[in-house]
Amino acid sequence: MGLCLSSEDALPLSYPRSKPPSKEIRVTTLGVDNSGKTSLVYRFKLGIAPNTIPTIGFNVEALSEYPPELPPEFSLEDIVRAAKKGHGGYLSRTINLWDAGGIAKIRPLWTHYIANIHAILYLVDSSDRNRLAEAKTAFHDDLFNNPRIPVKDKPKVILILANKQDVPGDHISIEEIKEALELEKTLAEGSGCVCWHVMPVSAGDNYPSETRYAQLIKEFKDKRKAEGKSDVEISFEVEKFATAFRSLKSWGNGMQEAIMWLLDAIDNPTAKMAELRCAAKKPTDVVVVDPDASSISVANGDGVATKTEEGATSEANQI
Ligand SMILES: Nc1nc2c(ncn2[C@@H]2O[C@H](COP(=O)(O)OP(=O)(O)O)[C@@H](O)[C@H]2O)c(=O)[nH]1
Ligand SMILES: [Mg+2]
């Protein structure tokens, strides 16, 4: 393996990579109970998925940095590198992340948690098919079709997170979530939502990373033994890896990607949605984003019509 830590590798070695963010945004995690909202907040804040109990009131945390992440197939070198980095860089803004309880009885309180927010993270437990219908009901009745929330107060940006991807077995796919929650229809123009997306994450699990780490350490020890190193020398080296590994805040579970997407979407929801629609359309389709980001025009590949953000339809040759 040839990896050797010098005295320069002493830990902890965190250092800031740029200035901390000054702008603040407000985001709320919603979803039925047990979908992983509290785990996500604390995983992101503390780097651990704590033991949770159903949230009755709410939690709120200010997040200003990305947690460091390891690639799924990480090496011991990756662990040292990620630990030296300290964190995955500052966010462009501080996110005040609210976590509201999702038990049916207290879902009517969601109306209070979405006042003046920039975005919603809506969690779905993708390992629990039995509660998919309830996830839909909560999304519709307590949020998007809730008559107590006027359209102007509906969140403009929604990121639906298909959580618990690490749980083995038959996952509910992203497409199934889109269909079950009727996202295309519910979040269409006029709903108040400008930009939405579904992404897979595992907010609350360490298990695969721990297993990989244990395997790498075993290989490392065997190799050093074969090279004639003493047990004391080997345990000294292994302790350095253990310190680095413990200091890491988060594993590769999709959360960095999700937060990056969220920040981009909040900055310019119309452009972000156009980007998504563009990716989903035929290569011949043309998406034009108004520079002031107030409208999107899509000329379909058959050259028939265009659609604007306001819902107006016009001839393709007008763009
Ligand atoms: N395996 C796994 N378990 C998770 C994940 N996220 C949350 N959990 C577990 O799901 C349960 C409910 O999580 P919690 O955060 O309290 O959900 P909440 O009710 O939506 O806040 C807890 O036992 C968590 O440990 C995940 O990504 N993977
Ligand atoms: Mg909770």
pTM of the model: 0.73
- Taking a C-beta distance cutoff of 8 angstroms, is the pair 149, 143 a contact? yes
Domain spans in the chain, listed from the N-terminal domain onward: 13-69+87-205+251-280, 209-243, 286-316
- Taking a C-beta distance cutoff of 8 angstroms, is the pair 66, 85 a contact? no
Whole-number Å distance between alpha carbons of 159 and 138:
15
Burial class (CB in 10 A: 0-12, 13-18, 19+), 261: middle
Residue 171 CA: which ligand is closest? 1
Residue 207 has pLDDT above 70, yes or no: no
Residue 54 has pLDDT above 90, yes or no: no
Whole-number Å distance between alpha carbons of 291 and 227:
62
**Is 250 a pocket residue for ligand 1 (Cβ < 6 Å)?**
no
- If you measure from the C-alpha of residue 249 to the centroid of ligand 2, how many angstroms do you get, rounded to a whole number? 20
Residue 136 has pLDDT above 60, yes or no: yes
Best mutation site among 32, 35, 37, 39 for ligand 1, i.e. most ligand atoms within 8 A of its Cβ? 39
Taking domain 13-69+87-205+251-280, whether its CATH number is 3.40.190.10 is answered by no
DSSP letter (8 states) at residue 140: I
**Is 202 a pocket residue for ligand 1 (Cβ < 6 Å)?**
yes
Atom of ligand 1 nearest to the CA of 51: 25
* pLDDT one-digit tens code per residue, 261-278: 999 999 999 999 998 888
**Is 127 a pocket residue for ligand 1 (Cβ < 6 Å)?**
no
* pLDDT one-digit tens code per residue, 163-193: 998 888 889 999 999 999 999 999 998 899 9
**Is 200 a pocket residue for ligand 1 (Cβ < 6 Å)?**
no
- If you measure from the C-alpha of residue 51 to the centroid of ligand 2, how many angstroms do you get, rounded to a whole number? 10
- If you measure from the C-alpha of residue 126 to the centroid of ligand 1, how many angstroms do you get, rounded to a whole number? 11
Q: What are phi and psi of 5, to 5 degrees?
A: -90, 130
Provide the 3-class DSSP secondary structure of residue 306: strand
Ligand 1, atom 3: closest residue by C-alpha:
204
- If you measure from the C-alpha of residue 97 to the centroid of ligand 1, how many angstroms do you get, rounded to a whole number? 17
What is the reported pLDDT for 308? 40
- If you measure from the C-alpha of residue 39 to the centroid of ligand 2, how many angstroms do you get, rounded to a whole number? 7
- Rounded to an integer, the average pLDDT of 103-124 is 91
